[in-house]
Structures are given as structure tokens and as C-alpha cells.
A and B are shown apart, each in its own frame.
Chain A
Amino acid sequence: MIRRTFTKLLAGATLATGLMGTSALAQDDPVRIALVVKALGIGFFEAAAKGAEEAAADLGNTEIIYTGPTDTTAEAQIQVINSLIAQGVDAIAVSANDPDALVPVLKKAMQRGITVISWDSGVAPEGRQMHLNPSSNPLIGNMIIKLAADELPDGGKVALLSATTTSTNQNIWIDEMKKVMGDYPGIELVATVYGDDLADKSYREAQGLMQKYPDLDAIIAPTSVGIVAAAQAVVDAGKVGQVNVTGLGLPSEMAGAIDSGASKSFAIWNPIDLGYSATMIAHALASGDATAEPGAEIPMGRMGSVTLDDDNAGAMADPFVYDSSNIDDFKSIF
């Protein structure tokens, strides 16, 4: 027993050294891609895993290992990644609990020939080959005004309900939106108010907008707190059908607003597409069909392709639009 163990141990070690630094995949062996999430049991990530399985079915001969820790700590995620390195998976696609703490273990994974990418929540550049953002600031800025304009073919007045005046993301998206206002003639931005991402303050600000601008046509709230509060304010004011609430929100929280008609449509990333794209990219990199370098275009199956910037990061797509046709499918997911 002891002797056998020892020889196996030695054999294993030589095998490991032999494989180090190469990513050659033996033919017919399935490509094993690990989708590592922040924590198991979260609807958003379960949906991403569904997308990953879909990608695996499209690719063929691909095995998805959907895994993650029980709680959202970096230490627990490192333990998970260590066991994936031990299994010699071909690729790891991770949504990180900590952008820095995962770097050493992911570096080790890359040294042993494993393709490493991050998606959703990124890792510092030295710890991954590329990062897939769900969307990009210009795409989001364009999407929020487009959603409002699509319902207003003859033009109209819109107002913005943001979070805080110092919220970096919000301000970037609003700036990007203002840049493309010219593409939507007839749409006039009358005011920008701040609800501080508090439900009651956002509600009062939305009420104030409707009182100050009785002919207001739409409220754009690129925040998941603000959009729900604004929709409630519109319902309570009896202005459903006159004022359309749109922006960025979560399907589970917005299902009521879509049902009542206070919101015709809103947008947010689609976790299924995200899991699908991450898997497609991981497969392309692991099998050598693509290389992660600035400027590279990496194919993502039905999602088109992603172009990498100087940090080897790329944006997947426009935010996904949710309306009465698909809200029921997504409201139970996230």
C-alpha cells in the first residue's frame, strides 16, 4: 500500500511537471471549463451557469464545472480555485470576491497552463488573461436614453433620477447619455435630480418632478433603487400611461412596475448571456483559437465577438432589455 502510494505520488509529480507551462489539449478529452462564482445559491449566478451549459452544448465536447464557495470571501474562493488547479481543468472563468487577493492563486493557475479569465467582477490585470465586462459605459449611456426615446416617436420631455451627486458610475453613464442625445431628436432633458439611492428620497424626488413638469413624458433612473421608487410614485400619482419609467433595474424588483404599466421596459445585463460569453471566450483561449492581447477580437458564439482594450478587458454587449414579453422568465432569476 505504502509503496504503491509512493510510486503513484512520484508518477503524479512527474506528470505535473511535464504538463507545466503547456496548454496542449489531448484530443477527444473534453475541454473542462470551471465557472467560479462569488457564492453558490445566488439566482444571478445560477442563471450564468445555465448560459455556460448552453455554450458547452453549442461547442460540443466541453464540460462545465459550476462551483464557488458558500460565503463570499476571498479565502474560500482561493480554496475552490486550488482544487480546480489540482484537477487540471483547462480554463477557469471567475467572478472574483476580491480583485487583489485572488491574484497569487490565479497566477499559479496560469503557470500550470490553465487559461484564466474573469467576468462580471474582475481581477487585477496581472491575475487573468482577460476580463469580460457585462457592458460598457457608452453602451449603457446610449441604452437608457434609447429606451425612453423608443416610446416617444414624436419627441418629449424626460428627466433623470440618479443616485448621489458623487456616484462615479451614475455620473459616467449620464455623461455618456448626454453625448448621444443628438441621435434622438425631439427628446429634451428637463432636469436631473438625486435620490441618493434611498427609496423614500427617490420617491419624493420623482413626485417633485411630476409636479414641477406636468407634461413630463419619461423618468430615466439608471439605478435599481431609484427606478422602483419612481415607478411607485407614478402609480400613486395616477400617471400610468403618461409618464414612462425606465433605466436600469432588477427584473425581480421591476416585475410589478411592468405589470402595472408604469414601466414599459428597462435594461440590465443578462446573466445567461454573460455565462454563455465567458464560456465561449474561455474555450477559445484554452484551445488556442484566440489569444488575449490588446486589440484582439475574441469570438463569443451567438453573442458576436468582444474586442479587448489596453488592459485586456472587453464589453460583452448592450444591456439586455426587459419588458412584458420576457419579465416573467427573469423575475425569479435575479
Chain B
Amino acid sequence: MTTLHDTAPGRQIPDRLQSPLQRRLKSWETLLLLVAIGIFVANSFASPYFLNAWNLSDATFNFTEKAMIAFAMALLIISGEIDLSVAAIIALASTAMGAAMTAGAATPMILLVGIGTGLACGAFNGVLVTRFGLPSIVVTIGTMSLFRGISYIVLGDQAFRGYPSDFAFFGQGYVFWVISFELVLFAVLAVIYAVVLHLTNFGRAVYAIGNNATGAEFSGIRVARVKFILFLLTGLMSGIAAICLTSRLGSTRPSIAFGWELEVVTMVVLGGVNILGGSGSIPGVVIAAFVMGLVTFGLGLLNVPGIVMSIVIGALLIGVIALPRLWSKWRAA
């Protein structure tokens, strides 16, 4: 947040307005972390069941699959694009896996089909956006209906069930004690995406495109290729999420993951990613995932009706976004 306040007559513009420590303390991530800690403490006082290792472990399933997609979505939104077809990709990938399973495929093949379907869907979105120059929001609203529509045609009111027992590990298995496979995968992916976005040339290119795509093009960044890769990654993550979710449910219906695209975007925006592109961070998205998971789980323990939960999440989103702006306005005044 390096907004320049009115500078003195000498027009001396310092390199940094704040020391690195100060900047870190005032960052979005710190604010979110405080919110997360606040929610954690409030939850432990509100419900006697909250501080229990197994319960907290169960709670992570509320967000791990969505968060995996949110990592790729964060990069895509930072670059100035969006993918609203992610939940539909889950449905199609899950349907493809079910069809493969019915045809007699073993677990490794089912995994390949899930990942392959995700990649194919992402490539389809990517080609439409980068090759034909269509706006991504329009393209992915279209493919959202298309992908899920195919699932409905294949399955109708039926379901694929009877996945092999070793397939259950990906959504129901534990690596160590209460640490589930999904949680480990979530952590590994978080590290990978953080490194890619914050420490590589590719990551810098993503920011550059989001801030000024034309400028980036003239600086020698192959904008179309980077964007295509980002769509591919979002499709890949949706395919991986489809594997986890299908494994956790042990069955496939065409309505699987219905409405998840908005929850994923909410997570990304809550994590401090600018919806207009150009800024944001992976640690922010990780904390946002925990915030959303902790809020829904905490309210669930108090048996708060779902509609109230949606209201709380909405209020949280508006609150977290509005507060820093109000704060800086109030200080400037």
C-alpha cells in the first residue's frame, strides 16, 4: 500500500514511505491474520468442541479443495482475467473419472483422466480468451454452462458410484495422525504457488500484465502465452480438486461442487487480491482460506443456520475490504 500522500514543495519523493517492517505490519496479510486469530479465539470461547484436533482436522475439509483452485485463480485475477467455469470443470472432470471407472479403469488411470479433463477444459478457456481475444468473464460464463451441461447429459439423474477403495485416500485419507492428505496437498501447493508468484520471472510477468498488459507486451513479455498458461493452471487445479472432492464423496453427480466458483473468487478477494488485477499475494489467499473455514466451522458448531453463515461471510468480505480504505481516509482527513 504505497499510496503517495501530498508531497512537500521540494517534491522529494523518497524510495519508501515506510520502513519494510512498518509496511509488513500494516499489510493486508497482517490484518487478515489478526482477523483469523480473533475468530480462532472467539470460536474457542464460543464452543467447547472447537479445540479438538480431530474436529479442527475435519474443519479443514471445508476449504482445502476450494483453496487449491483459489491459488491458480489468484494468479489469473492478478493478471486481469477470471475463470468462472472452475466448478463446472470439477463436475466434468468428476463425470469423466466416473465414466473411466465404469469402463474398468484402475485408480492411476482415473487420476490421469481427472487431471487430463481439467487441463483440457483450461486449455479450451485459454484458447478462446487468448487466441480469439474474447473477454474471459464472458467465455467462462459460457463454458460454465457448457461443461456442467455435458455432465448433465451424461448422467441425468443418475450417479457414478463404486470407486475403487484405494481411490478413497485422496479425499478421506490421513498422512499422519490428524493431518489429512488434502491438507498436505493444500500446503504443498501453497508453497509452490507462493514461490512461482513471488520469486520467479513468471510471477513478475503476471503482475506486469495485470498492471498494464500493453506495457508488458512492449517489454517483451509474451502476454498471450502467460495468460494461456494461467488458464491451463486453473483447469489443472480444478481437475485436482475434482479428484479430492470425488474421492471424499465417493460418488459423482452432475450437481457436484455447484456454486463453488463464487466461493473461490470470494476467497481470492478476501485474500487481498485486487479484483481488477495487478496486486495480491498467495499468503493472503492462504489466510483467507483459513478465515473462511474457521468462520463456517465455528458457526456450524453453534448450529447457526446456513443463511446466517452466508450473511456473516458477506459482511466479513465487505468489512475487510472497506475497513482499510475507511481507515486511510480517516487518517488523511
Q: Which residue of the partner chain A has the closest CB to B56?
A: A9
Q: Is B62 an interface residue (CB 8 A)?
A: yes
User: A16 to B50, alpha carbons, bound, how many Å?
Assistant: 12
**Hey, what's the 0/1 contact readout for A68-110 against B, CB within 8 Å counting as 1?**
1111011110111011011110000000001011011000000
A169 to chain B, nearest CB (A): 14
Q: Which residue of the partner chain A has the closest CB to B248?
A: A104
The reply to whether A87 and B301 form a contact with Cβ atoms under 8 Å apart is yes
Q: Which residue of the partner chain B has the closest CB to A34?
A: B303
Q: Which residue of the partner chain A has the closest CB to B299?
A: A83
The reply to whether A73 and B51 form a contact with Cβ atoms under 8 Å apart is no
Contacting residues of chain B (202-258) with chain A, CB-CB under 8 angstroms: 245, 248-251, 253, 255-258
**Hey, what's the 0/1 contact readout for A260-291 against B, CB within 8 Å counting as 1?**
00000000000000000000000000000000
**Hey, what's the 0/1 contact readout for B49-72 against A, CB within 8 Å counting as 1?**
111111110110110000000000
User: With a CB–CB cut-off of 8 A, which chain A residues contact B120?
Assistant: none
Number of B residues contacting the other chain (C-beta, 8 Å)? 41
User: With a CB–CB cut-off of 8 A, which chain A residues contact B54?
Assistant: 12-13, 16, 86
Q: Is B310 an interface residue (CB 8 A)?
A: yes
Contacting residues of chain B (17-66) with chain A, CB-CB under 8 angstroms: 44, 47, 49-56, 58-59, 61-62
A332 to chain B, nearest CB (A): 21
Contact of A12 among B55, B159, B251 (CB under 8 A): B55
User: With a CB–CB cut-off of 8 A, which chain A residues contact B52?
Assistant: 9, 12-13, 15-16, 86
The reply to whether B49 and A40 form a contact with Cβ atoms under 8 Å apart is no
Q: Is B296 an interface residue (CB 8 A)?
A: yes
The reply to whether B307 and A13 form a contact with Cβ atoms under 8 Å apart is no
**Hey, what's the 0/1 contact readout for B301-315 against A, CB within 8 Å counting as 1?**
101011101100000
User: With a CB–CB cut-off of 8 A, which chain B residues contact A69?
Assistant: 306
User: A88 to B310, alpha carbons, bound, how many Å?
Assistant: 24
The reply to whether B257 and A75 form a contact with Cβ atoms under 8 Å apart is yes
Q: Which residue of the partner chain B has the closest CB to A80?
A: B300
Q: Is A181 an interface residue (CB 8 A)?
A: no
Q: A9-B52, A69-B306 are in contact. Are A100 and B161 (CB under 8 A)?
A: yes
User: With a CB–CB cut-off of 8 A, which chain B residues contact A41?
Assistant: 307
The reply to whether A16 and B53 form a contact with Cβ atoms under 8 Å apart is yes
Contacting residues of chain A (1-55) with chain B, CB-CB under 8 angstroms: 5, 8-10, 12-13, 15-16, 40-41
User: With a CB–CB cut-off of 8 A, which chain A residues contact B159?
Assistant: 98, 100
User: With a CB–CB cut-off of 8 A, which chain B residues contact A85?
Assistant: 55, 58
The reply to whether A5 and B168 form a contact with Cβ atoms under 8 Å apart is no
B contact residues vs A (CB 8 Å cutoff):
44, 47, 49-56, 58-59, 61-62, 159, 161, 168, 171-172, 178, 245, 248-251, 253, 255-259, 296-297, 300-301, 303, 305-307, 309-310
In the A-B complex, list the 3 residue pairs whose CB atoms are closest, starting with the nearest.
A83-B300, A12-B52, A70-B306
List 22 contacting pairs A-B, 8 Å CB cutoff, sorted by A: A8-B44, A9-B56, A12-B53, A40-B305, A40-B306, A40-B307, A69-B306, A75-B249, A78-B248, A83-B297, A83-B300, A85-B55, A86-B58, A86-B300, A88-B49, A98-B249, A98-B251, A100-B249, A100-B253, A103-B250, A103-B251, A104-B248
Q: A13-B178, A87-B49 are in contact. List 15 more A-B contacts (CB 8 A).
A: A12-B52, A12-B55, A13-B53, A69-B306, A71-B259, A79-B296, A80-B306, A83-B297, A83-B300, A85-B55, A85-B58, A86-B58, A100-B253, A103-B251, A104-B168
